[in-house]
Structure 1
């Protein structure tokens, strides 16, 4: 997810204003033999204010499960609000590294903010586990210290189109509505790359700005083009507004897919009738069937009295992975742990997972869900069920990462 674009040039300008306060290798000297300081840096205010608290709850859960320690060191979990703004995120992580000795951080689902923070991770040599949807984390802006927890957008688009082809063998013509920033651009790029091989034709498409709320103009054009499939390559509040308005157009006769638009908890803002016809791509679902996830779900329900959601899973699983890597490396040094993560295969909430040694992309499944009609729902949380999963990684020839 990303709510606006923030370029590498913008990040470097912000870095220039803060660079005097970052001294690589010396920022955590005060706790080198003592506590381990880690952080959730995410949105606790603004449009995505619900993300931060949920990610923090997942992080708190895994710290508690470990008794608050790793390799005999006390774990101090800090939190900061980046307000969903790249410049604020850069300032907050700079402060955390310099003043608090933070060596590992996670928490942002905004590509724009996460990519800006990745510049600090690389420069100050602290490990970032990112969760945004842009392919730049593990592509053009990859670095030695940033790792990506979310599936690659290629994997998401591949799984979505494969499932649509399986479910609707006669569907051919695709119209796309794309968020006009890095996240949406990634989804569009891979949809265009994958569609022909699966027998689809890209007939038309439009891009919308962030915070768009009136989609009538786009859907008038879409219906005029007579597509078989409408793909909503957008996210968050923009997606919710688009889904409501598309439903009012009588879109039940169309196949509507949303490769990476919302998570289960976001869908509560739509009525069952509005969402029941959606083919929805998900990074996480509480129904994933493996021992690690089952244990996580039991712990989350016991502690929080509700099934875990995507942001909670991200907070839990990223730090769980980091703690396991520290134990494997017998070190909390970010340089050593980063190297240990490269190429490592382990069990996560997604089952068998591997981190690509060069790009630092997590290679794991991506899930397609069928949203349930009101008559099928057992309770308010019983919104969707997993119907398909795909795990095709981005082909090496499409990746722009220049790491050795």
Structure 2
């Protein structure tokens, strides 16, 4: 791993963020955390705390689900000091696969709630998260989505928090790469989904607010032939193309953009996705500017190292959404340690305003709307194909990429 630095930037090698690729993988059924006895005489005070993880173990975003749960397991071990217990309670984790289907996720969450689960986490897909958030409020259940990035989750209700970044933070990181955007034409290339629409809205709000003219090209999430969409982008003659992509069609997208000459005709900004995505960009990667939610080694903090070690020792591979799972575990342990393991209202209050050291650096849960304020990164790819290595250009502190405050929904 290569690293270099200057007075204003932290450089490091590795990767990640938003133009996304999937490669599903496992983690089956229900899992239980380790046990540690409690000497408390009151059985209610020492009873196990059930936690439900409803996430994409399979389906279009299965690779992200795998990254999330590997990070969660490492975070739970870290936050409980390898005891699997917090506040005198053993933490019992039940894992459910929603396959990316909102209806299935809602049914699974209702079953968990009916069995006495007061904490639900894990959601990979933004569309699923938007269905589960109201359910959490209706049933007074603490809800902590994972990689789901839609801005609509911020301020959704008093019981919904987030353990990952949101689209607005991605756009703010991208904006730091653009310089003066006044009068420039920006085209957002994304999918017609909750994730995609959130990115379009964020670009319009951030870059449009800076004077840019923002247009968009939306592709159906199921589209396999992406050449027409690449052609549409080029025909608009933009000064900048912002690409926000999720799912297994990412290779086809970058092939189409390269073949249609988009990456040579204009400036292209996108998120650096997981480790497996590096070869996808080919020679075009050197001409793309990347924003980064996270990649292994980007932060260089002791907590990040604990996460990397925990995932690796368990046989996993640290990646893009590892911090989302790790941070969720930290939040859950903190909430349980507040002494209110069965009172979601009290647990939510204990999280509001909490500042802590997460794997990305210093993070804070904004009390007013539960946004997770966190560092972001910008990066470039050095080399191409299998030899490509990402390098941090800038580490952006949480205060530089702070999304606007939202009014908390009832």
Match of 2:409? 402
In the alignment, structure 1 segments of 5+ residues that lack a partner are 4-29
In structure 1, what is the Cα distance between the partners aligned to 2:110 and 2:321? Answer: 23
Summarize the Cα distance change of 1:86–1:292 in structure 2 as closer, same or farther, 3 Å threshold.
same
Q: Does 1:219 align with 2:233?
A: no
What's the CA shift string for 1:375-399, capped at 9, x where partnerless? 894xxxx642222344432223xx3
**Which residue pairs with 2:340 in the alignment?**
331
Structure 1 residues 196-216: Cα deviation after superposition (integer angstroms, max 9, x where no partner): 5556443x4322222222222
Structure 1 residue 373 corresponds to structure 2 residue 386: no
* Aligned residue number for residue 172 of structure 1: 184
Question: How does 1:148-167 map onto structure 2 within 5 Å?
Answer: 148-165=162-179
Query: Could you tell me whether the CA contact under 8 Å between 2:71 and 2:307 is conserved in 1?
Result: no
Q: Give the superposition deviation at 1:153.
A: 1.8
CA distance in 2, matches of 1:178, 1:40: 28
CA distance in 2, matches of 1:304, 1:323: 23
* Counterpart position of 1:90: 106
Q: Is the 8 A contact 2:242 2:269 kept in 1?
A: yes
Distance in 1, Cα, partners of 2:284 & 2:103: 36
| Offset from partner CA, 1:105-162 (integer Å, 9 cap, x none) | 22112111111122221122221111311111114xx111110122232221111022
Write out aligned runs for 1:232-271 (5 A).
Answer: 232-250=243-261, 251-259=263-271, 263-268=273-278, 270=280
The residue matched to 1:304 in structure 2 has which SS? coil
Alpha-carbon distance change, 318 to 96 in structure 1, aligned in 2, over 3 angstroms: same
Question: How far apart, in 2, do the equivalents of 1:133 and 1:2 lie?
Answer: 13
Partner of 2:200: 188
Q: Which runs of 5+ in 2 are unaligned?
A: 1-17, 21-42
What's the CA shift string for 1:162-219, capped at 9, x where partnerless?
Answer: 21328xx9993322223222221221122122225556443x4322222222222232
Structure 1 residue 74 corresponds to structure 2 residue 85: no
The alpha-carbon deviation at position 85 of structure 1 amounts to 0.3
Give, in whole Å, the separation in 1 of the partners of 2:246 and 2:84. Answer: 35
SS in structure 2 at match of 1:219: helix
DSSP-derived class of the 1:223 partner: helix
Tell me if the contact between 2:323 and 2:360 (Cα under 8 Å) persists in the aligned partners: no
The whole-number CA distance in structure 2 between the counterparts of 1:130 and 1:124 is 16
CA distance in 2, matches of 1:371, 1:171: 28
User: RMSD in angstroms over aligned alpha carbons?
Assistant: 2.8
Q: For the residues of structure 2 that align with 1:145 and 1:282, how far apart are their CA atoms?
A: 28
SS in 2 for 1:206: strand
Asked if residue 123 in structure 1 is aligned to residue 134 in structure 2, the reply is no
Cα deviation 1:252-289 (Å, max 9, x = unaligned): 34221124xx6323515725435443323332222212
Q: Distance in 2 between matches of 1:344 and 1:358?
A: 12
Map of 1:133 onto structure 2:
149
2:69 equivalent to 1:56: yes
- Assess if the C-alpha contact under 8 Å between 2:163 and 2:325 holds in 1: no
Is the 8 Å Cα contact of residues 353 and 364 (structure 1) preserved in structure 2?
yes
Alignment of 1:393 with 2:380, yes or no, is: no
The answer to whether the 8 A contact 2:19-2:273 is kept is: no
What secondary structure is seen at the aligned counterpart in 1 of 2:237?
coil
Which SS does the other structure have where 1:310 is aligned? coil
Q: Could you give the per-residue CA deviations for residues 229-254 of structure 1, whole angstroms, max 9, x where no partner exists?
A: 11113322344422221012232342
| Secondary structure in 2 matching 1:89 | helix
If the length of structure 1 is used for normalisation, what is the TM-score?
0.80
